[in-house]
Structure 1
Amino acid sequence: MSTSTLSPARPRCPGSSGAVDALLPVVGADTLVPLATGGSTTYANLDNAASAPALVAVAARVAQVLPHYASVHRGAGWLSRVSTALFEQARAEVGAFVGARHDDLVVLTRSTTDALDLLSRAVPAGGRVLVADVEHHANLLPWQRSARTTVVPGGADAEETTALLEAELATGRYALLAVAGASNVTGEVLPLRRLARAAHDAGARIAVDGAQLLPHRRVDVGRDGIDYLALSGHKLYAPFGSGALVGRRDWLDAAEPYLAGGGATLDVRHDGVRWATGPDRHEAGSPNVVGAVALAQACTTLAALPPGALEEHEAALRARLVDGLTALAGVEVVRPRPRDAVGVVTCTVPGRSVSEVAAYLSAEHGIGVRDGRFCAHRFADALGLADGGLRVSTGVGTTSAEVDRLLAALRRFVTDGPELDYGVVDGHWAPLSDPRPAPGSLLAAAGPLR
């Protein structure tokens, strides 16, 4: 299928029917899952913040390029030349999607975590880093392990956190400010342009963890003053193991190579090595060509949406979700109405384990959500979620019908309780009597692929 067959239209937003359709088709939207109560139902994926499904356009592009896959950069064969062209074209398309400046580097990585770990090794010697404790571990642990990092407590909301960061930046002690574009716990969006100005005024640079922001909002690093941006394909509807670090080349060209191996060198002798500069310096080994192509296709497909369509779709779904959750007695929403937020909402059911609730939603209703502290333990603890929360996250494939299914299931849980008995089985909450086959056996039972 070519992407020209996909005609994204504006979603139907709340009106007479209140229906909101999927904005773009995703793989698996009609997948059936077994229920522990008997029968099956279409899976409702409300766990997009963890890993988003592949866009249909991405899967089609991968199928198109796989017959042409070969080695890259040094192969003389025709398919090697094709694969090299695909890989470098993907790099350019990812850079264009985020507004990379002409002299920025686009280093293709495995994930946001990989990209931020790479950047953490590129900060000049002696340069101090500022970060808040509201961050996902991917944007906290690479910095926290250094004695040159200051971790400040977050505020009561994004505005207060921003003010705290600005005040600390004003001391002039820092080389880099590292922030998330959007919280993976509350969905709150930080004012990136404002923080970029504050960092630059203080002689610092700004790095943005874009994992949760880019699936929901467009970012332009040049326009917004962002020095470094990290992103993941699996958050951006391209779950094929690729990510990127986009940003200024001077620190990256001067840094020790992230990996030592083939492709990162210009010359290797018994008495030394001449390392490459540019993205090659940090991309040793055989690159993930298919993952890069998938990521680029996701970027291209999202960029082709009508202006405002993504934001309109998300706002309608988030409003429906928050309104429905806050209307449920027995459910508490964490920071339900921040000034600006993406489609990530966390709640609790006081008196019940959120892991039990998540198991119930899956076993009895075929709904996937996330429970726990979401790899943001310090922030979760500060929010009173020491025992975890229940996170619901929407994406371009989410519909209002799926949100309504979740709300109805939670209403039934808090009013009537689950139909089955639940307990901890092998370390996880699950029905104590579960007739469903073991998850790992489902595809194996289908026999070999033909």
Structure 2
Amino acid sequence: MSIAVAAPRAESRTVPPLALLADAGLEVPVLGGRRVPHTNLDLAASAPPLAVVARAVADLLPWYSSVHRGTGYPSELVTELVEDARGAVARHVGARDGDVVVFTRNTTDALNLLASAVPGDVVVLDIEHHANLLPWRSRRVVVGAPSIEETIAALGAELARRPAALLAVTGASNVTGELLPIARLADLAHEHGARIVVDAAQLLPHRVVDLAADGVDYLACSGHKAYAPYGAGALVGRADWLDQAPPYLAGGGAVARVGLDRVIWHASPERHEAGTPNVLGIAALAVALRELDALGPSARIEHEHALATRLERRVAAVDGVRIVRGFTDAPARVGIVTLELERGSVGLVAAALSAEHGISVRAGRFCAHPFFDRVATRSNGLRASLGIGSTSADVDRFADALETVVAGGFGAVYHRSADGWKPIVDDRPRPSLLAR
């Protein structure tokens, strides 16, 4: 099964050529019967697949078969593919010898799995996505301070006050894009006898992750954030807790032997992967990570930094808009900018950007309610997020449309329903897609 490499996407001279996304050239309907190029600035929620990923999945479909116990050639092939993918994920995140890769549905699933294995309290910051806040059964929440330095000091004080088994932190905020100093936090956790898990949902698509170099014990990630939206994620890390935990799912594949009065469970990762795995999602995740490796970190970071700088400058110049920050001393950010309005509804603005301009953004509190409530002054924000397929034209188109809409330049009348703001008259056609 051959996998072709995607052709590079043309970009301005100041930004390196980058991988072509499968949604390149997508046009969406807007009010009035027109179609316009889609500007996708909601990549922090879910990203479209890389073209090479979409092709790899299409190539795999005819070979799809059972995994691990089938004797047919397709079964042998996909079994090898799944185990090769496990190695690809481990290499991409710098796993140590002895670390395990357990395939999950997404980051939330991975963190819930780890929560079932933690032998004690978990210390967590209030800045976390709900996926890294809600699963922990015995959590102790530290409220972040205005600066990262003060926040680290508060974490240290909490870890010193009473022993904890685990420190759970995000690698990059899904609200502000701000990066946390993961290696420092790992050292801090270990100094106090705790381990550390990193929610890498937003970090993985944007930065190099290295468990061994940074001293990270566990990492959780999602394929749908990293250009492989086929329903797979992973938990990577030390095996001992996972081997001692009850199986995450009870079923076939997780067992070595079953009797009516006794069950012998496998060690990790099989212990937590009962049932038929998501072969397509696992394959897609591995191909996406290999492609990110091939692109190299420098090109991706330079591309994103240039666009994020442009985005912040353009947004900051719009009257009545404030950019939300979590820390005064954040050393760097991934390509996420969240803003709030001095007046008006960000939900209405987001609806108009989509319905009238073909621009996708996100409005709300981004499944990080405690953090947003602490750092914002309004009840909801509007988030624009960038990725490797984003361009300067995307940024400018968004900023121009935002300025128009915030100033009251609506081309339609909207009403607020249970599903959010909608045009009263919506003449945008819906494609049939799966209707056949």
Q: TM-score range by the shorter chain?
A: over 0.9
Q: Name the residue aligned to 2:432.
A: 443
Instruction: Give the counterpart of 1:65 among 43, 60, 69.
Output: 60
Instruction: Give the counterpart of 2:127 among 124, 129, 134.
Output: 134
Q: Distance in 2 between matches of 1:3 and 1:70?
A: 19
8 Å CA contact 2:167–2:196 kept in 1: the answer is yes
Q: Distance in 2 between matches of 1:86 and 1:254?
A: 28
Q: Name the residue aligned to 1:393.
A: 385
| Partner AA of 1:47 in structure 2 | D
Deviation at 1:331, TM superposition (A): 1.2
Q: Distance in 2 between matches of 1:220 and 1:383?
A: 30
SS at match of 1:304: helix
Instruction: Give the counterpart of 2:240 among 226, 250, 257.
Output: 250
2:258 matches 1:263? no
Deviation at 1:64, TM superposition (A): 1.4
Q: Name the residue aligned to 1:234.
A: 224
8 Å CA contact 2:336–2:386 kept in 1: the answer is yes
SS at match of 1:245: strand
2:398 matches 1:406? yes
Deviation at 1:37, TM superposition (A): 3.4
Q: Name the residue aligned to 2:75.
A: 80
8 Å CA contact 1:108–1:242 kept in 2: the answer is yes
1:201-222 Cα distance to aligned partner (Å, 9 max, x none): 1111000000000110010100
2:293 matches 1:316? no
8 Å CA contact 2:9–2:20 kept in 1: the answer is no
Q: Name the residue aligned to 1:415.
A: 407
Instruction: Give the counterpart of 1:44 among 31, 35, 39.
Output: 39
Q: Distance in 2 between matches of 1:414 and 1:236?
A: 31
Residues 340, 259 of structure 1: CA spacing in aligned structure 2 closer, same or farther, 3 A cutoff? same
| Partner AA of 1:443 in structure 2 | S
Deviation at 1:38, TM superposition (A): 3.2
2:357 matches 1:365? yes
Deviation at 1:270, TM superposition (A): 0.9
Identity rate, percent: 54
Q: Distance in 2 between matches of 1:184 and 1:385?
A: 18
Residues 2, 356 of structure 1: CA spacing in aligned structure 2 closer, same or farther, 3 A cutoff? farther
Deviation at 1:182, TM superposition (A): 0.3
1:379-399 Cα distance to aligned partner (Å, 9 max, x none): 111122552100000001111
2:9 matches 1:6? no
Note the 1:259-298 alignment, pairs <5 A: 259-298=249-288
SS at match of 1:99: coil
Q: Distance in 1 between matches of 2:421 and 2:275?
A: 41
Deviation at 1:417, TM superposition (A): 2.1
8 Å CA contact 2:339–2:383 kept in 1: the answer is yes
Q: Distance in 1 between matches of 2:11 and 2:431?
A: 34
2:99 matches 1:104? yes
8 Å CA contact 1:26–1:54 kept in 2: the answer is yes
Q: Distance in 2 between matches of 1:228 and 1:401?
A: 38
Deviation at 1:5, TM superposition (A): 3.9
Q: Distance in 2 between matches of 1:263 and 1:74?
A: 9
Q: Name the residue aligned to 1:348.
A: 340
SS at match of 1:70: coil
1:51-73 Cα distance to aligned partner (Å, 9 max, x none): 01100010111111111110011
Deviation at 1:443, TM superposition (A): 2.2
SS at match of 1:308: helix
Q: Distance in 2 between matches of 1:185 and 1:159?
A: 19
Q: Distance in 2 between matches of 1:327 and 1:422?
A: 26
| Partner AA of 2:347 in structure 1 | S
8 Å CA contact 1:10–1:306 kept in 2: the answer is no
Q: Name the residue aligned to 1:31.
A: 26
After the TM superposition, which of the residue ranges 421-430 and 402-411 deviates more from structure 2? 421-430
8 Å CA contact 2:207–2:297 kept in 1: the answer is no
8 Å CA contact 1:154–1:161 kept in 2: the answer is yes
1:322-381 Cα distance to aligned partner (Å, 9 max, x none): 000111111111129842110011001221111000001001100000000101111111
Give TM-score scaled by structure 2 length. 0.95
8 Å CA contact 2:187–2:215 kept in 1: the answer is yes
8 Å CA contact 2:22–2:54 kept in 1: the answer is yes
Structure 1 unmatched runs, 5+: 15-19
Residues 105, 55 of structure 1: CA spacing in aligned structure 2 closer, same or farther, 3 A cutoff? same
Deviation at 1:133, TM superposition (A): 1.0
After the TM superposition, which of the residue ranges 371-380 and 424-433 deviates more from structure 2? 424-433
Residues 318, 285 of structure 1: CA spacing in aligned structure 2 closer, same or farther, 3 A cutoff? same
1:83-116 Cα distance to aligned partner (Å, 9 max, x none): 1001101111011110111100000000000000
Give TM-score scaled by structure 1 length. 0.92
Q: Distance in 1 between matches of 2:48 and 2:152?
A: 32
Residues 215, 10 of structure 1: CA spacing in aligned structure 2 closer, same or farther, 3 A cutoff? farther
| Partner AA of 2:316 in structure 1 | T
